[in-house]
Structure 1
Amino acid sequence: MNSTTARRPARRAALAVGLAAALALPLGLTASAQASAGTDQPRSISGKPSDSVTRIADFYGAYIDAQSDPDNGGKLVDALRKYYVSASYLKELKAWEDKNHADGVLRAQNVPVRWKVTDNGTADHTEAAVTLTWGDKRTTKLIVDMTRSHKIFHIGTKGIGGK
């Protein structure tokens, strides 16, 4: 038995455990908490997996974490996309990325240092503003639309309603 064959089950198991942890841990966390820099007060972050804004925040938090790990994040990035983004929109993201030579989720070639998700309030689906902050303090605001069944179906600078 060669060493490559012996390592494959271990790699698959490690990837499966890592993916399960990455998908399970963020469910219930949101980015709405503000850091209590310079104080001794404990921070609190809350959310619930049934809430679409929580899900969008969970996705962006886990996605940015995975993108920040260039050695090990690639497979996790793909898995997060498959879990949170609708299959039809994945094709649109790929086309956008091919045309723009950038990451379609972040709409950038690099990774932000902070992110914030704010509910934009829509009736038939969830629309949220995602504010990405870069290392030089610049920000980018994206609008992310999610179905009631918790799948992202649009990311852009305007929502599907043109806002």
Structure 2
Amino acid sequence: MNRTIRTALTAGVLAAALGLGATVQATAGTPRTVSGKPADDITRIADFYGAYIDAVTDEDSGDLGDALRDHYLGAGFQKQLDAWEEANHANGVLRAQNVPLAWKVTDNGGTATRTEALVTLTWSRNSTTTLVVDLNRGSREIVRIAEKGAATK
């Protein structure tokens, strides 16, 4: 198989696996496009997870991760998250002790006051976790993160 086709196929497989909205052509170097809208709740959740995972991956001190949590998460929810982390000895945003290889955010409906998204975190080829994330439409803050299927209070 020639290098151009192999590169295009590899890019297509990666785009599909990561849930990217990229169009892959049979040429090397096909550009990918990621878009969003500041007023869109799903974009906001995706922006948070993308930036937060980058911060946790890149920083040893945790200052940026903490700043992102302060900006995107409701104050009351941050207290609940701190308690969850203390009890579970894990990162409450990721619901894990490590950092995922990839993430995908999918609209899951909502109510008049909340937007619900499913955040799928990919840990390895055969391992994912799906989180349910609620954003308060009025405050534009994340007010709940829970593993899909987990009981909530």
- TM-score, normalised relative to structure 2: 0.77
Please identify runs of 4+ aligned residues in structure 1 that moved more than 2 A: 31-41, 158-162
Aligned twin of 1:45? 34
Distance in 2 separating the partners of 1:160 and 1:52: 23
Q: Secondary structure at the match of 2:90?
A: coil
After superposition, give the CA deviation of every residue in 1:2-49 in whole Å (9 maximum; x if it has no partner): xxxxxxxxxxxxxxxxxxxxxxxxxxxxx7534849753221111111
Partner of residue 103, structure 1: 91
- 2:50: which partner in 1? 61
Q: 1:156 aligned to 2:152?
A: no
Deviates more, 1:139-148 or 1:116-125: 116-125
Number of residue pairs matched by the alignment = 131
Flag the structure with higher strand content.
2
**What is the 5 A alignment of 1:12-161?**
32-34=20-22, 36=24, 39=27, 40-72=29-61, 74-124=62-112, 125-148=114-137, 149-158=139-148
Deviations 1:21-78 (A, max 9, x none): xxxxxxxxxx753484975322111111101100000000000000002435x00000
More deviation in 63-72 or 107-116? 63-72
Match of 1:9 in 2: none
The whole-number CA distance in structure 2 between the counterparts of 1:35 and 1:98 is 43
Q: Is the 8 A contact 1:145 1:160 kept in 2?
A: no
User: What value does the CA root-mean-square deviation take over the aligned residues?
Assistant: 2.5
Question: Structure 2 stretches of 5 or more lacking a match?
Answer: 1-18
Is residue 130–residue 148 contact of structure 2 (8 Å, CA) maintained in 1? no
The answer for unaligned runs of 5 or more in structure 1 is 1-30
- TM-score w.r.t. the length of structure 1 is 0.72
